[in-house]
Each structure stands twice: as structure tokens, then as C-alpha cells.
Chains A and B, each alone.
Chain A
């Protein structure tokens, strides 16, 4: 096999398998090409989360200047994720065609101008449109996971995926902390508050563009090079290029992808919803100032630094000891506990009680996301991109549904009741995990079947 002339480091500085995917994960190294890809991937996704969630902490100011009603804010929050439902599905195909590097950088560079156009908006409709378009950038999650799956071997792909997604998710939390600070800083320079927030959005826009350019300049799709420098784009496993529609339908037919889409909607979707509403919730219910509300909201998202990777590690450990049954049971258990804590969060009346419950809740709900992607790589090797896209899409869809049903401003019940109801929904929608069954590895209640059906034989890969 001819190696492409550019960007080929041989021998690799990390141990690799036969596909040249790394078999060790060293997050604090920058070795080419694997760890550098990891850093570029999580950093560029981080900037997308930062941009998307740069708006919620400043809502208290925006709602005055744009004369927003609670219904407008709810619509915009829903719109923020509605776009990503489709863009996440499309990103899977784009990664197949263009490679994760070009696909993710293109999306980031095309949505950075949208973030900048915050300078122009002056009505509720334009606000909703803005959040809708910025939300497209969350499709980079699929590119991020796809890239990690191309660079890291099956034995550690869960960990790599978990850390890459977890550290990127921190962007949502950091935005809640940093944006009010940036806003206050600009106001202290003498700028009026209604101009200051417009200026503040220059920061996430530039950050997003810079990370995208870094991905283009320093990243590569595969351990051996880039998609476009090969004559025919191919997956790292050296298989001939699959028919894209065939792969798509193969993935869509798999019921496990749908169940995980639902459960991911109930952990990650809930996380996205909380990111949207929590700063306003603390600001309005407990009368804290905008920076304090941002700080509390930030501590929700910052937990991702640790909790999502821990979820991935727990899944791997359970998988080692109890096989797929362990992975599924731990997913169900962690997500159910998260649901219970969410119900509790809506009932707590004190500021500090709420903050503490929120932190516990954040740990469990984010770990559940990590645990979900500990199961995803095992569903289908042929349609990994599509299954990841379906699950990721389900996450965004969960956020849309939660916002529409419970936090769209025209509700008869208060935000705290909405939060408790959301917890209840989480518990109910996690039950379907019990229905997931792999003939080769079993499910939560049944062991593996003695004669694995030949139809499913091709679906599974032993990623161990």
C-alpha cells in the first residue's frame, strides 16, 4: 500500500494497530497524528458549544433590548437545537465524503459569520433565526466522534470518544461563566449595555474561526493522511467505498440506534436544555445577579471535564467484567439516578440546595452521555457514522422536545415544575434500554443466543 507523500510520520510515536490507529490514549501529549487530532477535535467542538451557549447567560440583558417575551425565548431555545437534529444526520454523510477535517472546519467557518451577525439583530424573529443557524454548528459533534473513531483503536475508542466529547462540552459551561464577564468588562469600558452585548459575541466568533483554521492547517483525517490526497476516499479500515445510501438505510433499520437515540435525547438532550434555561432560572427564582447566575450555570457544564469521560471509563470497565450486559445495566442505572436528581432539582427551594443538587445531577446526566457512547460503537461497524449521527440527532431532538413541552414560555406551570417533569420523562424513557439485545453479547435480561443469526453477523464488529 502506497503511503501518501504528505503528513506521514513513520514510525508513529504511539503504539498502533494494523490500521495505524493508536492503541494508547495520552491526553496530555501532542504527538502527531493521533493526539494532535484529538486536541484539534475537542478544541474545535468546544468552540462550537461555546458559541451556541454564549447567548443564554446574557438573556437577562437581551430580553430587555430585543423586547423578548418568554415565548420568544422558548422558541429560540428550541430553534437552537432543531437545526442540529438535521445537521447531525447530514454530518455523518459529509464525513464519509469529505473527511471529518474538512467537514467540521467548513461548518465552523460557515457558522462563525452567524455568530458575528448578533451585531445586527433587533427583533424577536431575528433572534430566533440567529439561534437556529448557530445551532447547526453542533453537528461538529458527529465529526468529532467520527474523527476519534478513525484515529483510535477499538480497545480505547470509548475513552477517546468520551474525553473528546466531554472536554468539548465544557465549552457550554465555560460560556455561561465567561460571557457575563466579557459583557461586564465591555460595559466597564464605558460602552452602553445594549451595544456591549453585541460586541461581546465577537469573542466566540473569532475563537470558532481560529479553531477551524487550525484544524485545516494542522489536522489530518486518518493516521496515514487526508481523504483528498488519496485517489479514492476510503475509511481507515481499507474497505472499498460503500454505497452511501446503502450505509444510511442499513443504519436507519437498526432498532438499537433508535433506542439509543431516545435515551441520548434523555441525557444529552436534557443537558442541552438545562444549559439553555439554568442561568435564567437561578437569576429569576433566587434573585442572584447575572454573573452569579452565570457562574452557577457554568458549574453545570464544567462537570463535563470529568463526568463524561468517567462515564466512558465506567462503560469500558463494566464491559470488561460483565460484557455488554454490564454496559447496558450501568447506562440504565446512571441515567435513572440522573432522572431522580432532576425531579429533586425542581423541588428544592433554597439557592444553595439547588446548586448542590444541580452539581450531582450534572455528574450523573453527563456520565450517562459517556455511557451511551460506550455502547454506540458496538451497534454497527459498517454504519458507525450513521448510528452516531442518529444517536447525536436524538440528543438534539430530545432537547427540542423538552423545550417545546416544558419550557416554551406559554406553559401553565412554572420552570421548577418543568424541571421535575423532565426528570420523570428521563426515568420513563430510559426503560427501553432493557429492550436492547445483541445476539452475540446478550442484553440486560437475556444472555447471548446460542446461534447468532446470520443476518446480524455482518453488523457487529468485535472492537475489542
Chain B
């Protein structure tokens, strides 16, 4: 199923243009039905899924994040923010950025689904070219002091044992020659 071209939604998020820390900072998303569209178009919408999507700058040379028209194969929006039943207005959700979100530039998209689970409409916090209102997320580093120390210790052991053996070999060689 292809994504619909006309955004029927107007989601917005706080913190556009900012850098958020994964696991710590929060993002508030609000969305409501775009009143300029004919009334009744939204009668089929049952649920809403809000997703975090990669901005084009984070998709460059990364085929695993590619945007394709076929929604089943599209990999732009890989993280779910929230799923809620549909309501035409006063929708908002405050999301604490999850710990495993990688470092990249993002925007937010909201998809509306009908009762069959098919995507019926969508809206996003950025423009059609995905250049405005983007924000960054900084991932939590996986490095840990304890791991660093353990690595240094093992490495030292490795090098020391090598030189220890070299020394022992030389001594054995000298002893063999003295005999």
C-alpha cells in the first residue's frame, strides 16, 4: 500500500531543531484532524500510530533506512512512539525518548488506520521535502567504565604473557648452549 500524498493531519512536536538525549529527554507530540478537508473523511479512522522517522540526512548511504513507496518495504519510520484510538482533536502524548534510539536526525509522523488495519491517512511534523522542523537524538553510549577496565587488564595480560614466554625461550636457549 502506498502512502497517501495529502496529509490529512497536522501533528506537531515540541523540541524542533533541538538535540534530545535518549533515555532522558521528552518529546511531546500533538495531532488533530485538518479541518480544511471535507467533513466525514475521518469517519473511517479507528486508530492512530505515531512513529519516529529518519530525516533524509540520516538516510544518506544507508539503504537499511530507505524510503520506498510500498509501505510494507518502507524503512523510514522504524520506531513507534505511541498507538492510540482515533480522535479528531486534543490529542497529545509526551514520550520519553527510549534508550535504544540511535543517534540521528528525526521527524515525527502520525498514521491513521481504518478498522481493517489499512493505512488511511498520515501527517508529519516536517514539510513534504522533510527539511524543516527536524530534531536530533543523541544515543546513549554503550561504553562502560567496568568494561573498559576489564579490556585493559586482559590486554595487558596478553602482552605480558607473550614477553614472558619470549624471555623463557631465550633462557632455555642459553641454558641449552651452555650444556
Contact = CB atoms under 8 A, between A and B. Distances in A.
B1 interface: no
A65 B139 contact: yes
Nearest to B168: A216
A206 B154 CA distance: 8
Contacts of B95: none
Contacts of B148: 119-120
B154 A113 contact: yes
Interface in A114-138: 116-117, 119-120, 122
A116 B173 contact: no
B91 interface: no
A419 to B, nearest CB: 15
A400 B149 CA distance: 34
A194 B159 contact: no
B140 A194 contact: yes
Interface string B55-84: 000001111100000000000000000000
Contacts of B172: 6, 228-229
A4 interface: yes
A72 B177 CA distance: 53
B141 interface: yes
Interface in A177-211: 192-199, 202, 205-206, 209
- Majority SS at the chain A contact face: helix
Contacts of B157: 209
Interface string B34-64: 0000000000000000000000000011111
A109 B100 CA distance: 34
A117 B169 contact: no
Interface in A59-100: 60, 63-65, 67, 69-71
B131 interface: no
Contacts of A116: 151, 154-155
Interface string B141-154: 11110011011001
Nearest to B61: A69
Size class of the contact patch on chain A: 35 or more
Nearest to A198: B142
A71 B155 CA distance: 30
A194 B141 contact: yes
B173 A228 contact: yes
A340 interface: no
A280 to B, nearest CB: 9
A216 B166 CA distance: 9
A112 B155 contact: yes
B141 A113 contact: no
15 contacts: A4-B176, A63-B62, A69-B61, A106-B162, A110-B158, A116-B155, A117-B151, A117-B155, A192-B99, A192-B142, A194-B140, A197-B142, A198-B143, A198-B147, A229-B173
Given A119-B151, A198-B142, A284-B64, 7 more contacts: A67-B102, A112-B155, A119-B143, A122-B143, A195-B142, A195-B147, A198-B143
Q: Which 7 A-B pairs have the closest CB atoms?
A: A194-B142, A113-B155, A69-B61, A109-B162, A64-B102, A195-B142, A116-B151
